[in-house]
Structure 1
Amino acid sequence: MATGSSEEVLAIDIQNLIDSLNQADNDGGAETAENEADKPVAETLPEQGSEVDLDVVELASTGEGLALRKGSKRVYVVPFAVPGDTVKAKVYRHLRDENYTVADFVSVVTPSPSRDDTRVQCKYFATCSGCQFQMLDYAHQLQLKKRIVEKAFRHFSQLPPELVPAVQDTIGSPLQYGYRTKLTPHFDGPQGWRRTKQPFESCPPIGFMPKGKRNTLDIEDCPIGTDAVRMGMKRERARMAVEYGKYTRGATILLRESTKRIPKKTIEGDSSMPQPPAEGEGEATKDSPPPAEDEVIRVETDEYTDLKTCVTDNNGKSTEYVGPYVFHNPAGSFFQNNNSILPVFTDYIRQHILPPTSSSPSSSSPDAPTTSTSTPPPQIKYLIDAYSGSGLFTITLSSLFSGGSVGIDISDASITYASQNASSNAIPPSRATFIAADAADLFTPEVRARYAPDETAVVLDPPRKGCDAGFLKQLLDLAPRRVVYVSCNVHTQARDVGVLVRGEVAGSGLKEDAATTAEGVVEGEKEKKKTRYAIESIRGFDFFPQTGHVESVAVLNRVDE
């Protein structure tokens, strides 16, 4: 595992299926001397562009179906299909060296018992590449995502099974449609735009990419977007229908929901439209007019009224509420795109960032030694939030740590917004501070000096590529008592957790630089004992219903021997 790309993950799933098919043949005596003459000859593959019937036998961790033709062990990758389906597919490309074929979904010949196409809520499903699971019951989707997490740790952690606890059930999203607070439809440039530099002569298709193609599919609505985002999409399409002649190249359109929250007591008895979001809390700025009444989605609860607008300026500001906390962000920057699950998610992290009160630091670890000492472990007083972004975890966890919390991120802009968000939530610098630092030197000497390992917990939420070798080496050197690893890519998470459990980067497949692999100890410094961790729990979270994507939280304890 190098990058955690879909191609890497798919290749592993395909190879494991091929291995299991070959093993089944061997177990059945397919290679005995009696049937040597019956060994299959080289298979003649169907011509590209031809249609074939395929039986789907497994779901890849990338969301595609893995299928077989009758009488053949060659694997076909076909989207929008689930185990138990027989589908008609058009052969797209043979990858002879990789021993599989890519095919386009055409139709269902015989549906799986788990398939019900009446569940599909988007007319572009099975063409648009965004969703894979709309035909499935939601409980079944969660089961499939649990399997994805299980396979990730089985294939990529490089750990023996006894060191990986049973993966817990995936926690579902309160909303299965209408949940995405950010969408980015796009349009392609005019024909030959690099050469001609001529504007559009008519409005281009605006939407998303079809599965397996590079052109843009014109999509006027997306049911997984929130009402505010869908309203913004309609508005931007209407604008483009008038302004297309201003564009000489393609572009991406930002649609980001922003919320202004008004306590009920301030508008009781007033049925008129409340004031639109102020600067920094929505789309209105001193250089642009406030949104019209029909550009605001009003959501009522018992305690407050939410006014939701759609920001389309990448440099604008958006505001989101996560339980009692408020977060302001650059509209074009990263922030979790499913607000409905965020309170559940952050509450789960709060419940697991500290060890269980009835246990010692290592008592919940499967390979931790027992101890006869009655001396209680020191209290965890400090939090380090690595890859902190605009402060989601630093802020929502800060009240748990008496010694204070620090968020560390490579982006200066993220650190600026994180500090502002702490202030917006009335969290003083003594409880939450933020530092900009390069990933190669995330744990600065100041951080190491202040945060005693026995009294420190670390939460980390890296990008999809996971942690690099230098960061993992720093983390092992710091040796915090507890680590909560949050990931949007369970495959690179499994690889990195394997590093922490083994206590060494070597053998992980991660590229190590000279500083990481250097041996020896600085003169006068005692050699530190090897740090390693045990996995307490692993659990998936469904931030993206109807898709094959799952996020994961792994809780680890330092093993003290």
Structure 2
Amino acid sequence: MRRDIDKLWASLDVTPTVPADGTAPLELFETVEVRIVALSSTGEGIGLLGSFSSKEDTQDEARKGWLIVIPHVLHGEWVQGRVYRNHRGYSYADLDKVLVPAPDRQKAPCTYFGQCGGCQLQHMTYEDQLAFKKLSVEAAFEAQATILGPVVVEKVWASPDQYGYRTKITPHFDRPKSTTQCPDIGFLQQGRRRVLDVEECIIARPVLNAGLTQSRAYVASHLDTYKRGSTILLREDHQIIQPGEEGNDTDSPKEISRVVTNHKEIVRESFGAYQFEFPAGSFFQNNASILPDLTGYVRDHVQGGEEGRKMRFLVDAYCGSGLFSITCASKSFERVLGVEISEDSVKYARRNVELNQHLLPGVPCTYQVGDAETIFQGLDVPGPDTSLIIDPPRKGCSNSFLDQMIQFGPRRVAYVSCNVVTQARDLAYLEEQCRALHVPGWKLEHLCGFDLFPWTAHVEGVALLVRQEE
């Protein structure tokens, strides 16, 4: 949020009047009216107090330039909010009401929207959500423009399913207050650390909502066993049984879905012709409907082709249970190598090679346990003939990893990120280091987003790089 605030102040050429002791000019629970002049990268609206845009307080110099961060609003709207937290130069407020709505505001499809902290953008049309997320990717890379130069975000790929897409949800509840009253079971309230009671989530798979109903009944009948609050795991086990396989005596593929609540139980996720197994509590992408587009986009790049140069080797640096390395393996590769710090994930990556063997063109796929930062040590494949897939956690890559990547010099790189800010930071670091070392860097050939979580502010960034010639 601070980055968004500073950027807005700079664009408006406004500096707020902040007392030396940092005291805010607004009282907690004070009601304010503002016009929304920008949206933050996380989807909140930002309104500006003072003579620049507010209907009120135009003579109050103490409030001039002070910003109000308020959720569930659109650019240009006049809104009323109630302040609940103050920071240096800006305050957070709950939305009380929209005084003058934007013409493209839509009615939220979920009855819990505005209270539940899970979704941020249900007041936007889906087309506007994609446009907002494209701007979010652009803003992250604009922050590194002095190093990376101008960057073009080509598009944000839409999710085929906008409702009922989540294959995993984790509702919570606090410690029951008595053995006769069931606590609220659901998700954290917007801007609060309190649980909102949610009976159905419209972005969760139908089987998970059925599981939520069952879990609520179970908790209600076992209140005396909970000495503290708890989190419920609800994960879909989705299998496709082909004709002739056990359990399917028809001529068509048969889909079976059930809900799993045990973290250690093995589940299967299916999309296209691929199937993956992993423990229910482990990480796997939660929107299977967009995985064919996402993995296909990465596959087309790492195989090579645009410059007519096929790659011989594929390295997956944060391989998990093998999603990208398996879906991107092709007969053009002589070898596919995945590295993952979790021994359990490596075990299931190997299992998933067996599960998808009929789709793998005889390419040896090997997996090893190890830290991504040491992946290049002892790697016996030449960088110029290698494609590298990077899909790190939100914190991005360490400088140590990126330094080793420069030394290894993979020809093609696909950087998939759940945090476009750290993604842009990492690419800027690569460029700076390559310049300092006077070695060829990577050209950013393509940059786009993928909407893995419709109705939320999250966007997955995919950057496709090609090593420049000497």
CA deviation map 1:229-271 (0-9, x unaligned): 111111111111111221111111001011122235679xxxx
Q: What's the CA shift for 1:529?
A: 5.8
Using the aligned pairs only, state the percent identity.
40
Moved more, 380-389 or 432-441: 432-441
Give 1:145's aligned residue: 133
Q: Is the 8 A contact 2:17 2:65 kept in 1?
A: no
Question: Aligned partner of 1:65: which letter?
Answer: G
2:437 is equivalent to residue 550 of structure 1: no
Q: What's the CA shift for 1:499?
A: 1.7
Q: Is the 8 A contact 1:157 1:495 kept in 2?
A: no
CA deviation map 1:386-425 (0-9, x unaligned): 1000000111111244311001111111100000000111
Question: How far apart in 1 are the matches of 2:286 and 2:65?
Answer: 40
Question: Aligned partner of 1:424: which letter?
Answer: L
Find the residue that maps to 2:275 and give its secondary structure: strand
Correspondence list, 1:344-383, <5 A: 344-357=293-306, 359=307, 379-383=310-314
Give 2:324's aligned residue: 393
Any stretches of 5+ residues in structure 1 without a counterpart?
A: 1-9, 26-38, 192-198, 268-273, 276-299, 361-376, 507-527
Q: CA 1:48–1:255 in structure 2 vs 1: closer, same or farther (change >3 Å)?
A: same
Q: 1:46 aligned to 9, 21, 26, which one?
A: 26
2:467 is equivalent to residue 475 of structure 1: no
Question: How far apart in 1 are the matches of 2:189 and 2:377?
Answer: 45
Q: Is the 8 A contact 1:158 1:495 kept in 2?
A: no
Q: CA 1:88–1:463 in structure 2 vs 1: closer, same or farther (change >3 Å)?
A: same
Question: How far apart in 2 are the matches of 1:18 and 1:402?
Answer: 50
Give 1:113's aligned residue: 103
Q: What's the CA shift for 1:41?
A: 10
Find the residue that maps to 1:132 and give its secondary structure: coil
Q: What's the CA shift for 1:355?
A: 3.2
Give 2:61's aligned residue: none
Q: CA 1:76–1:504 in structure 2 vs 1: closer, same or farther (change >3 Å)?
A: farther
Q: 2:272 aligned to 306, 313, 323, which one?
A: 323
Find the residue that maps to 2:155 and give its secondary structure: strand
CA deviation map 1:521-559 (0-9, x unaligned): xxxxxxx86241111010000000001110010011111
2:269 is equivalent to residue 254 of structure 1: no
Q: 2:222 aligned to 215, 236, 243, which one?
A: 243
Give 1:501's aligned residue: 431
Find the residue that maps to 1:221 and give its secondary structure: coil
Q: Is the 8 A contact 2:444 2:463 kept in 1?
A: yes
Question: Aligned partner of 2:209: which letter?
Answer: R
Q: 1:440 aligned to 370, 373, 381, which one?
A: 373
Give 1:205's aligned residue: 184
Q: Identify which of structures 1 and 2 has the higher relative contact order when contacts are C-alpha pairs closer than 8 Å and 6+ apart.
A: 1
Correspondence list, 1:479-558, <5 A: 479-504=409-434, 530-558=439-467
Q: 2:282 aligned to 333, 357, 364, which one?
A: 333
Question: How far apart in 2 are the matches of 1:233 and 1:444?
Answer: 46
Q: CA 1:400–1:497 in structure 2 vs 1: closer, same or farther (change >3 Å)?
A: farther
Question: How far apart in 2 are the matches of 1:248 and 1:324?
Answer: 45
Question: How far apart in 1 are the matches of 2:179 and 2:85?
Answer: 33
Moved more, 530-539 or 414-423: 530-539
Q: Is the 8 A contact 2:27 2:83 kept in 1?
A: yes
Q: Is the 8 A contact 1:422 1:428 kept in 2?
A: no
Q: Is the 8 A contact 1:133 1:548 kept in 2?
A: yes
Q: CA 1:469–1:12 in structure 2 vs 1: closer, same or farther (change >3 Å)?
A: same
Give 1:30's aligned residue: none
Q: CA 1:457–1:228 in structure 2 vs 1: closer, same or farther (change >3 Å)?
A: same
2:10 is equivalent to residue 19 of structure 1: yes
Give 2:350's aligned residue: 419
Q: Is the 8 A contact 1:384 1:458 kept in 2?
A: yes
Question: How far apart in 1 are the matches of 2:17 and 2:226?
Answer: 58
Q: What's the CA shift for 1:202?
A: 2.4
Question: How far apart in 1 are the matches of 2:261 and 2:198?
Answer: 18
Find the residue that maps to 2:137 and give its secondary structure: helix
Q: CA 1:248–1:505 in structure 2 vs 1: closer, same or farther (change >3 Å)?
A: farther
Correspondence list, 1:269-280, <5 A: none
Give 1:134's aligned residue: 122
2:6 is equivalent to residue 76 of structure 1: no
Find the residue that maps to 1:112 and give its secondary structure: coil
Q: Is the 8 A contact 1:503 1:533 kept in 2?
A: no
Q: Bigger radius of gyration, 1 or 2?
A: 1
Q: What's the CA shift for 1:223?
A: 0.5
Question: How far apart in 1 are the matches of 2:139 and 2:109?
Answer: 29
Q: What's the CA shift for 1:189?
A: 2.1
Question: Aligned partner of 1:404: which letter?
Answer: R
TM-score computed with the length of structure 1 as normaliser: 0.76
Any stretches of 5+ residues in structure 2 without a counterpart?
A: 59-63
Give 1:182's aligned residue: 168
Find the residue that maps to 1:93 and give its secondary structure: strand
Q: 1:60 aligned to 40, 43, 59, which one?
A: 40
Q: CA 1:433–1:338 in structure 2 vs 1: closer, same or farther (change >3 Å)?
A: same
Find the residue that maps to 2:366 and give its secondary structure: strand
Find the residue that maps to 1:55 and give its secondary structure: strand
Question: How far apart in 2 are the matches of 1:454 and 1:160?
Answer: 23
The RMSD of aligned alpha carbons is: 2.4
Question: How far apart in 2 are the matches of 1:504 and 1:234?
Answer: 55
Moved more, 397-406 or 100-109: 397-406
Question: How far apart in 1 are the matches of 2:458 and 2:426?
Answer: 19
Question: How far apart in 2 are the matches of 1:258 and 1:94?
Answer: 44
Question: Aligned partner of 1:151: which letter?
Answer: A
Question: How far apart in 2 are the matches of 1:44 and 1:438?
Answer: 46
Find the residue that maps to 1:222 and give its secondary structure: coil
Question: Aligned partner of 1:87: which letter?
Answer: V
Q: CA 1:560–1:316 in structure 2 vs 1: closer, same or farther (change >3 Å)?
A: same
Give 1:402's aligned residue: 333
Q: Is the 8 A contact 1:186 1:253 kept in 2?
A: yes
Q: What is the aligned residue count?
A: 452
Question: Aligned partner of 2:41: which letter?
Answer: S
Find the residue that maps to 2:384 and give its secondary structure: helix
CA deviation map 1:435-493 (0-9, x unaligned): 11123312231x1xx21111100011000000011111111111011111000111100
Question: How far apart in 2 are the matches of 1:213 and 1:111?
Answer: 25
Q: What's the CA shift for 1:428?
A: 8.6
Give 1:94's aligned residue: 86
Question: Aligned partner of 1:74: which letter?
Answer: W
Q: CA 1:127–1:84 in structure 2 vs 1: closer, same or farther (change >3 Å)?
A: same
Moved more, 214-223 or 430-439: 430-439
